[in-house]
């Protein structure tokens, strides 16, 4: 098996046909396996949080038609491009074995695109954590390459030591997602009213002193408690 240091993360700037096909393969394969398997992609809000039983998106509550995985992945990729969301891919030779989508942006834009929180709260984040952030979107690692630090490598490739890394955790059946982020140093910044979703953040060291009032450590427990048990393969 490949060591993570043999994998190069590249910023995808142009999608030629080969890269595009390889990315779609990677998306389809990753999303059909643990920890993503119970979920499908939402072409509207670009989360992969559509419950495969109800076909209702946990991110935006849209009812999603049941698509073939490949066409859904294709639509997802198109929408990422349309919204100028960047992509980092991990390559083994020519093959995409993992990817992470992200957006370097400001709080209001990310709020409009993804978080959908009251603007008073966004102002509070803005004044405490600065105007800019790296917002994270979907991620996938091919099943055969998991547990080898590829996810960690992709996350560290998008990090900037100056600005916070912000993500939204949905009511995933896999607390594996949350454990992964916790290991990387994410905290819960805000929990939504329904208690199932949370904004999580990795705060640069230089800011860590001024955010204690923003972190709700107690909600970690609540989130673990509400997560649905996942039967691992
Ligand atoms: Zn959605």
Å from CA of 41 to ligand 1 middle:
8
* Average pLDDT of the residues in 212-233: 37
Q: Note the pLDDT of residue 217.
A: 40
Residue 155 pLDDT exceeds 90: yes
Could you tell me the pTM of the whole model? Answer: 0.81
Q: Note the pLDDT of residue 65.
A: 78
Domain range list for the chain: 4-226
- Quick: pLDDT tens for 46-103: 877 777 788 888 878 888 877 667 888 888 888 888 888 888 888 888 889 999 999 9
Q: Note the pLDDT of residue 169.
A: 85
Å from CA of 217 to ligand 1 middle:
27
Å from CA of 83 to ligand 1 middle:
15
* Average pLDDT of the residues in 14-41: 83
Average pLDDT, the chain: 80
Å from CA of 116 to ligand 1 middle:
12
Q: Note the pLDDT of residue 165.
A: 96
C-beta separation of 135 from 102 below 8 A = yes
Å from CA of 201 to ligand 1 middle:
21
* Average pLDDT of the residues in 195-205: 86
Å from CA of 153 to ligand 1 middle:
27
Residue 132 pLDDT exceeds 90: yes
Lowest mean pLDDT among 25-39, 86-100, 101-115: 25-39
* Average pLDDT of the residues in 25-46: 81
Q: How confident is the model at residue 174 (pLDDT cuts 50, 70, 90)?
A: low
Å from CA of 94 to ligand 1 middle:
31
Taking a 5 Å cut-off on Cβ, the residues next to ion ligand 1 are 42, 44-45, 57, 59-60
Q: How confident is the model at residue 214 (pLDDT cuts 50, 70, 90)?
A: low
Q: Quote the CA–CA distance of 73 and 143 in Å, as a whole number.
A: 17
What CA–CA distances, in Å, run from 138 to 1, 118, 216? 24, 23, 24
Q: Note the pLDDT of residue 24.
A: 92
The token duo for 145 is 């390459």
Å from CA of 138 to ligand 1 middle:
12
Å from CA of 73 to ligand 1 middle:
14
More confident position, 60 or 36: 60
Å from CA of 143 to ligand 1 middle:
24
* Average pLDDT of the residues in 140-149: 90
In terms of DSSP H, where are the helices of 58-195? 69-82, 107-110, 119-129, 150-158, 175-183
Question: Sign of the C-alpha dihedral, residues 135, 47, 39, 79?
Answer: negative
Å from CA of 202 to ligand 1 middle:
24
Fold of 4-226: Aminopeptidase (3.40.630)
- Closest among 174, 210, 193 to 31, alpha carbons compared: 174
């Amino acid at each position: 098996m490949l060591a993570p240091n043999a994998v190069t993360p590249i910023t995808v700037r142009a999608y030629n046909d080969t890269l595009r096909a390889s990315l779609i393969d990677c998306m389809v394969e990753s999303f059909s396996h643990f920890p993503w398997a119970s979920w499908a992609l939402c072409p509207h809000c670009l989360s992969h949080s559509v419950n495969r039983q109800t076909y209702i998106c946990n991110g935006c509550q849209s009812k999603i038609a049941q698509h073939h995985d490949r066409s859904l992945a294709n639509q997802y990729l198109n929408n990422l491009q349309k919204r100028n969301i960047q992509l980092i891919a991990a390559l083994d030779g020519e093959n995409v074995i993992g990817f992470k989508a992200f957006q370097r942006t400001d709080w209001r834009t990310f709020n409009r695109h993804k978080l959908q929180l009251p603007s008073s709260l966004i102002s509070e984040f803005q004044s405490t954590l600065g105007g800019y952030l790296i917002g994270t979107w979907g991620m996938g690692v091919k099943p055969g390459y998991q547990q080898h630090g590829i996810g960690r490598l992709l996350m560290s490739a998008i990090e900037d030591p100056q600005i916070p890394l912000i993500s939204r955790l949905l009511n995933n059946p896999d607390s594996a997602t949350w454990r992964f982020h916790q290991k990387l140093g994410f905290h819960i910044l805000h929990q939504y009213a329904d208690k199932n979703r949370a904004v999580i953040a990795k705060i640069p060291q230089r800011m860590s002193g001024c955010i204690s009032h923003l972190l709700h450590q107690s909600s970690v427990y609540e989130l673990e408690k509400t997560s649905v048990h996942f039967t691992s393969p």
